Structure 1
Amino acid sequence: MSDELCSINAAAGAAPQRLDWRLMLPVFIIVSLDAASSGAILPILPFYLRTLGASPLVLGLILGAEALGQFVAAPWLGQLSDRFGRKRVLLASQAGALVSLLLLALANSVVFVLLARVLLGLTAANFSAAAAYAADNSSPTTRRQAIGILSAGLGLGGMIGPGLSGYLAEISLTAPIWVALGLSATSMLVTGLWLKGAPAPSPYGDDSREDERPLEKVSFRALLASPVIRVLIIVLLCHYFSYGMFSSQLAVFLQDTFTWNEHPFGPKELGYLLTADGAINILVQLFLLRWLGSYFSERGLIVLVFAILSTGYVSAGLATDIATLAFAVLCISTGVALARPTFVAALSVHVPQQRQGIVMGTTQSLVAVTDIVTPMLAGVILGQSLYGAWIGAVVAIALVGAVIARSQLPRIDPETKAAHA
């Protein structure tokens, strides 16, 4: 078992040394469409629930229930993608999203909205399955770039979806939901017709038969025996916990403390920030990530991400003018854009090929836990108007992640070794 855990990737020698865009383009489009579909719903969901008589507390409970569904289901869906292939799991999750959106569009009570969002959480394995697909079709030296392409797709969808929603909401609150359903259906069509449906990796190499030995020979629990993987997961959770505390209550903080053109920060201004965030995300993935990856090791890049984010968090807490706030947004958006592909790729190159899906799914599940906890924790702090304590907690958690990464991760990572081999 130790030999399996120490191996970077059983099929790394056969993996391409340059990304094949014929394989990556369809999954980029799929992730973009799915992100646009989700992005079209989030801006109108609070107002949609209000028309059904729901309170802000009910909105929080529904979002928490969705995250809880993702926490429960993501590891199983990732494991199923290891066994049955990425394409089949993507299609299944997209079918669930279609049913969820249809329920949401036809909802006449809060109960149906709750059912719709829980179903979406239970089938929300799109990014983990897509990331596992990217890992299958990239080498250790191109892994970070491959995940970065998917993150750019998230940024593109994150720009398009809210923009469409803001325009269509003037027609009706259900119009964005129907458009989101159309985007999700298109994503499913691209998956079915274009995505390569390669068989799931065998847990014992290409020469073994899947029916000769049980799939669970290399489980996620066994993978946690690797100290590097344990440290990476702890560091990843530090990032998502700090960013979750910050992003979940940013609008409340800015509305209470910041003025824009002599009036309080509002939904329109928040839309501007989200659009800028999406644009920065795309630029970082396309131009900055690969350049930084050639100069920094895995450990160095993770520490750099935390440093950039901490600078942005402090700047946001001190912002009293547009220039300072813009600088904060630039730092935070850049750090977040670098974080996802860096963490996912770092985990991926330390995991055997046959366990990519379950690791991506379980990681997504752990991130969902932070989505449940952080809004409530940050809400309690800001509910007491303790703005300095809020920013202090966000920065402290990020710095803990940086210290752990700096002291516990190896100086030379598998990507660096492969690049110089």
Structure 2
Amino acid sequence: MSDELRPIDAAASAASQKLDWRLMLPVFIIVSLDAASSGAILPILPFYLRNLGASPLVLGLVLGAEALSQFVAAPWLGQLSDRYGRKRVLLASQAGALISLLLLALANSVVFVLLARILLGLTAANFSAAAAYAADNSSLTTRRQAIGILSAGLGLGGMIGPSLSGYLADISLTAPIWAALALSATSMLVTGLWLKGADVGGRFGNDSKANETVGEKVSFRSLLASPVIRVLVAVLLCHYFSYGMFSSQLAVFLADTFTWNEHAFGPKELGYLLTADGAINVLVQLFLLRWLGGTFSERGLIVLVFTILSIGYVTAGLSTDIATLAFAVLCISTGVALARPTFVAALSVHVPQQRQGIVMGATQSLVAVTDIVTPVLAGVILGQSLYGAWIGAVVAIALAGAVIARIRLPAIDPETNAAGG
């Protein structure tokens, strides 16, 4: 492990055994508010576009365009956060989100929805900047715990936003958008007034040697120089490709095939599912992640994640009643909640502390590549009503990730693995 990642003195070593909640609480609240804002849009977006005459393929193209803009912007924003600080980049991205939500609320055609989502993608550095902030203010022994806290914030926001959206959707499909705008404005206020504008490197990486390379250009090629990182990136892409194909068109699939208490599946029901997803995410972060991290090796935990997800995907494809669909959501939400902190923390500990922003941005950009392709590909498949082929592709890609992890990743002792959480 690089010397740049080690605590620089005995005090830092002692501090590395626990997180400073005074630093983590504001970023947890920011992530929760931003997730609630995004979560308020997700249940209504497919139906909002459908009301404007859009097909499943158009929905996929809108989501793909958003991901493409995120792919272009994420590494650049990550590097800016390394150079100028996490707080400034968060504020800039939140301002962009406010403008995009305003444009979405006023949209009267698919073109304006497309423009709004592209703008959101260009400024969507929120989680990568927040994850870099968490890495700045955590050590190797608390890294997975720090990322897990942010993931719990995503889960909490994932409960609040869809629940609010499901309630407001009865008023109009634009009411949740205005609520999302208010949540995003509150997040920006918290960032400006509460978040500490810490130096790059945080508590565990502020030495002169580390700071000498801040601002140095870091490319995808240098990021992938390590064999372990290459395998982790491949595994991460398998996860996000399969989950992207599934989640981007789930609403369309259920609207076409599922009956909820004798009526068609709609935005309110999707809000229920997303609320349950958020609740499961929070519970997994609080009660399950740390225990599993201490029980399984990193490789074993990744294989377990893909196994749980595959069971959930198959069950969702076969669901004919609410109980079966609920079991599918339980499996998928648990797998996703375990996946994010596991992958992000594993990547984080293999790069120098002062480059956390660029590696988080580059990773977000790689994930955006999958988000460009998966909604369109899934939209084409579901546009032909090939539901079995859609689920089969999702499961096959997830199982490929499990095989890659099982064959190519070293088996790390559980006690060592637990140090991350």
Instruction: Report the TM-score when normalising by structure 2.
Output: 0.90
Write the mapping of 1:2-401 to structure 2, written as runs, cut at 5 A: 6-7=1-2, 9-12=4-7, 14=12, 16-49=16-49, 57-201=57-201, 206-208=207-209, 215-216=215-216, 219-401=219-401
When residues 402 and 192 of structure 1 are mapped into structure 2, their CA distance, relative to the original with a 3 A threshold, is same
Contact kept in structure 1, 2:33 and 2:187, CA below 8 Å: yes
Give 3-state SS (helix, strand or coil) of 1:215's partner. Answer: coil
Structure 1 CA distance, aligned partners of 2:119 and 2:265? Answer: 33
Q: Distance in 1 between matches of 2:329 and 2:49?
A: 29
Which deviates more, 139-148 or 232-241? Answer: 139-148
SS for the counterpart of 2:124 is coil
Q: Is the contact between residue 16 and residue 137 of structure 1 (CA under 8 Å) also seen in structure 2?
A: no
Question: In 2, Cα distance between the equivalents of 1:329 and 1:209?
Answer: 43
Tell me how far 1:393 sits from its aligned partner: 1.6
**How far apart are the structure 2 equivalents of 1:129 and 1:115?**
23
Return 5+ residue gaps in structure 2 as ranges: none
Residue 325 of structure 1 and its aligned partner are, at CA, apart by 2.3
- 102-111 or 291-300: bigger deviation: 102-111
Q: Contact 1:26–1:191 at 8 Å: present in 2 too? A: yes
Q: CA RMSD in A?
A: 2.6
Please state how far the C-alpha of 1:279 moved relative to its aligned partner.
1.0
Pairwise CA distance, 1:301: 1.0
Distance 2:244 2:250 in 1: 10
Deviation at 1:198, TM superposition (A): 0.9
User: Cα distance, 1:355 vs. partner?
Assistant: 1.2
CA contact (8 A) 1:316 1:325 kept: yes
Gaps of 5+ in 1: 1-5
Alpha-carbon distance between aligned partners in 2 of 1:209 and 1:385, rounded to the nearest angstrom: 54
CA drift at 1:239 = 0.4
User: Retained in 1: the 8 A contact 2:134–2:146?
Assistant: yes
Distance in 2 (CA, whole Å) between partners of 1:142 and 1:209 is 20
User: Aligned in 2, Cα 1:56/1:399: closer, same or farther, shift over 3 Å?
Assistant: closer
Do the aligned partners of residues 395 and 329 (structure 1) sit closer, same or farther apart at CA in structure 2, a change above 3 Å counting? same
Distance 1:213 1:352, change over 3 A: closer
Residue type at the aligned position of 1:249: Q
The CA distance in 2 between the partners of 1:229 and 1:119, in whole Å, is 30
Distance in 1, matches of 2:253 and 2:169, equals 25
Residue 109 of structure 1 deviates from its aligned partner by: 4.7
- Alpha-carbon offset, residue 294 of structure 1: 1.4
Contact 2:61 2:376 in 1 (8 A): no
Conserved? CA contact 1:315–1:327, under 8 Å: yes
Higher alpha-carbon deviation: 250-259 or 150-159: 250-259
Q: Is the 8 A contact 2:295 2:414 kept in 1?
A: no
Inter-CA distance 68–413: structure 2 relative to 1 (3 Å threshold): farther
The amino acid of 1:101's aligned partner reads L
Number of residues of Structure 1 aligned to a counterpart in Structure 2 = 413
What is the TM-score normalised by the length of structure 1?
Answer: 0.90
CA distance in 1: counterparts of 2:191 and 2:116, whole angstroms: 22
> Offset of 1:178 from its aligned partner?
2.5
Counterpart Cα distance in 1 of 2:106 and 2:358: 34
- Helix, strand or coil at the partner of 1:216: coil
SS at match of 2:271: helix
Amino acid at match of 2:227: P
8 Å contact from structure 1 (residues 9, 349) kept in 2: no
Partner of 1:3: none
> In the superposition, relative to structure 1, how do residues 413 and 65 fare at CA in structure 2: closer, same or farther (>3 Å)?
farther
C-alpha change, 1:177 and 1:251, in structure 2 (3 Å) is closer
Letter in 2 for 1:207: S
The CA deviation at 1:235 is 0.2
User: What fraction of aligned residue pairs are identical, expressed as a percent?
Assistant: 87
Question: d(CA) in 2 for partners of 1:387 and 1:72?
Answer: 32
